[in-house]
Amino acid sequence: ELNADFNIDRFEHRVLFNETEKRIEMHLVSTNNQRVTVAGREFFFEEGETIHTENSHKYSLESFREMTEPYFSDVTTWTDSGSKFCIQFLTKK
């Protein structure tokens, strides 16, 4: 679509937990110095340089409820046995 010439074998996937932001971050890490063209523009990557590709934010049940309370009512929550994952059902006010 953008006539990109990324060689995916020259990147590694890295996942980090950013404690300060309470989020999981995904990065592509250049495994060597390289040049990539996208839509006719050149981009240079040094070995170890990253492309920040995604954030996955994590909320406690309490912080999620506080964030959504002004906009939703009747919040129903289902969690796994260790309360590490949940599904939230919300009804718009």
- Per residue in 54-79, pLDDT (tens digit) is 999 888 888 888 999 999 987 889 99
Range in 5-14, 21-30, 58-67 the model is least confident about: 58-67
Radius of gyration of the chain (CA): 20
3-state secondary structure of 29: strand
Q: Which residue has the tokens 């950013």?
A: 18
Residue 13's pLDDT band, with cuts at 50, 70 and 90, is very high
